[in-house]
Structure 1
């Protein structure tokens, strides 16, 4: 009863969500419930959780998309709970970064065992995890935990979207993101034709980082594809 770790349940079936929440609370966990994929994403962005239970068949944003978005930003344990029994669904979910897959119906005891197991691993990971403040060449320092960015010892006045954009790229080094992927992740919706929002924010971010397109130190343009972060942490 002394865990007090926070679990986010993203499940559109009210009765299942209530059962899961009540059971986990009796075991000492703090639970939050979201009934749609979008609501779950908003909860994740606004709060800190130690583990997420995610149904696949969610309204507004499906569980696959949600897992993919969350994994780009966090290593928090993701457990999929779904009525989908096909191997393809399980493989897709695990490939998107989920840590486990429970097929409905499942026993609450099994759920408890898996939750406890993943939380133990997550605790060990955090005990040995490196500092959240990472230094890069040419004076860039990113404090991921406190959401602050410094250049040559001076804090950069980044907007919320610029900060989100930099964190998305820096947390996934050398991974190329298309403009559409960036817009969907940062702004939470599909990019419209002719929308230059991502381009404008990349330009503004580069300006503040003193980064050049043709000799990129941090954000590289992959022509015809998108953008990627190329800064290498200083050991």
Structure 2
């Protein structure tokens, strides 16, 4: 069901009181309803009890970490997750994307950017709900992308993608063989035009390649990416 971004409920999970409260105050000031949690177990409990529309999730948490929280909540009910990490390390970021995170921010971050990314993720949920009403299927060699059911098959075997990975693939599949710039992809998939999200796009492309095959997404250095139109090499 489409999310009313202005009144969405957001779960903020952060064990540092100053950061948790600052994020909470800023989101409430932007018109969101906010629920707070301070550790891994409480995050999962609050997710179950309050059914948030989006989760802002720190990686380093007491109890169990944000990756485990993300894994558990995504298994229960898919929801947009914005991860906060103190480590600007690609391997750490890819772990987060692998368990279902949609985007990430590296600490320290600007509150204005956090609010913008939250809004963009919520708008993307609305767009996904609209796309689900359309019947669009792309058959590219042995790769099949069904936008109506949001399902993907490679050589007749279904592949599980996170919501962001699917939207990225669907965007590339809509223009097979055409090179899309990182900026174009960030604007279309993340819904944030005019912003620089090259690291975010690159990390998600790497995670997508690990699932559908690296040879299917071609890199044009200094420009962007294109989805190959044939089967696997």
Mapped pair 1:49 → 2:55: no
Deviation at 1:127, TM superposition (A): 4.3
Structure-2 residue corresponding to 1:8: 11
Distance change in 2, residues 1:26/1:174 (3 Å): closer
Give the aligned length.
133
Mapped pair 1:40 → 2:40: no
SS at match of 1:3: helix
CA distance in 2 between partners of 1:48 and 1:3 (Å)? 16
Deviation at 1:75, TM superposition (A): 2.0
Deviation at 1:78, TM superposition (A): 0.4
Please report the TM-score for the alignment, with normalisation by the length of structure 1: 0.53
Structure-2 residue corresponding to 1:195: none
CA distance in 2 between partners of 1:63 and 1:39 (Å)? 12
1:221-232 aligned within 5 A? none
| 1:115 counterpart (109, 113, 118) | 118
Structure-2 residue corresponding to 1:68: 71
Deviation at 1:128, TM superposition (A): 5.0
Deviation at 1:73, TM superposition (A): 2.1
Distance change in 2, residues 1:174/1:46 (3 Å): farther
CA distance in 1 between partners of 2:130 and 2:72 (Å)? 25
Task: Please list the CA deviations of residues 72-97 of structure 1 after superposition, one character each: whole Å capped at 9, or x if unmatched.
Answer: 12221001011122111101101111
Mapped pair 1:98 → 2:101: yes
CA distance in 1 between partners of 2:20 and 2:119 (Å)? 18
Task: Please list the CA deviations of residues 123-156 of structure 1 after superposition, one character each: whole Å capped at 9, or x if unmatched.
Answer: 22234557xxxxxxxxxxxxxxxxxxxxxxxxxx
Task: Please list the CA deviations of residues 10-34 of structure 1 after superposition, one character each: whole Å capped at 9, or x if unmatched.
Answer: 0000000000000010100000110
Please tell me whether Structure 1 or Structure 2 has the larger radius of gyration of its CA atoms: 1
State the superposition RMSD in angstroms: 2.2
Structure-1 residue corresponding to 2:21: 18
CA distance in 2 between partners of 1:9 and 1:129 (Å)? 28
Q: Which runs of 5+ in 1 are unaligned?
A: 131-172, 176-235
Structure-2 residue corresponding to 1:202: none
1:175-214 aligned within 5 A? none
Q: Which runs of 5+ in 2 are unaligned?
A: 134-157, 161-233
SS at match of 2:6: coil
Greater relative contact order (Cα < 8 A, sep 6+)? 2
Distance change in 2, residues 1:115/1:174 (3 Å): closer
CA distance in 2 between partners of 1:105 and 1:89 (Å)? 16
Spell out structure 1 runs of 4+ moving beyond 6 A: none
SS at match of 1:111: helix
